[in-house]
Amino acid sequence: MLKILIASNNEGKIKEIREIFKEIAQIQSQKEAGIDIEPKETGKSFQENALIKAYAVFEKLQDKALKNEWLKDCDEILVLADDSGICVDILHGEPGIKSARYANTSDNDTNSSDEQNRLKLISELQKHKVRESSARFVACVAIIGKIIGKVKVGAKSHVKSNAKSHDKDKSSESKMIEFCGFGECEGKVITQQRGDNGFGYDCMFVPDGFDKTLAELEPQVKNTISHRKKALEQVREYISEHKKS
Q: What is the DSSP string of 31-81?
A: TTTT---------SSHHHHHHHHHHHHHHHHT-TT---GGGTT-S-EEEEE
89 is an annotated ligand-binding site residue: no
Return the SS3 of 24: coil
Pick from 105, 86, 108: which is nearest to 38 by CA?
108
202 is an annotated ligand-binding site residue: yes
Q: Could you list the residue range(s) of the whole structural domain that residue 186 is in?
A: 2-242
Cα first-last separation, the chain: 13
83 in active site: yes
Active-site residue identified among 63, 73, 82, 83: 83
**β-strand 2-6 against 77-88: which pairing, if any?**
parallel
Pick from 11, 201, 213: which is nearest to 119 by CA?
201
208 is an annotated ligand-binding site residue: no
83 is an annotated ligand-binding site residue: yes
Q: What is the pLDDT of residue 170?
A: 47
11 is an annotated ligand-binding site residue: yes
Q: What is the pLDDT of residue 149?
A: 62
Q: What is the pLDDT along the chain (245 residues), one digit of tens a residue?
A: 889 999 998 887 888 888 889 888 999 998 888 888 888 889 999 999 999 999 999 998 877 556 777 777 677 899 999 999 999 999 999 999 999 999 998 877 788 999 999 999 999 999 999 999 999 999 999 999 988 765 433 333 344 434 333 333 445 666 789 999 999 999 999 999 999 988 899 999 999 999 999 999 998 899 899 999 999 999 999 998 877 54
Q: What is the pLDDT of residue 66?
A: 64
In total, how many domains does the chain have? Answer: 1
For residue 56, give the CATH number of its domain.
Answer: 3.90.950.10
201 is an annotated ligand-binding site residue: yes
8 is an annotated ligand-binding site residue: yes
Contacts of 87 (CB under 8 A, 6+ apart): 93, 94, 95, 96, 135, 136, 137, 138
* Cβ–Cβ < 8 Å for 102, 112: yes
Q: Which H or E run includes 115? A: helix 114-127
200 is an annotated ligand-binding site residue: yes
Supply the pTM of this predicted model.
0.84
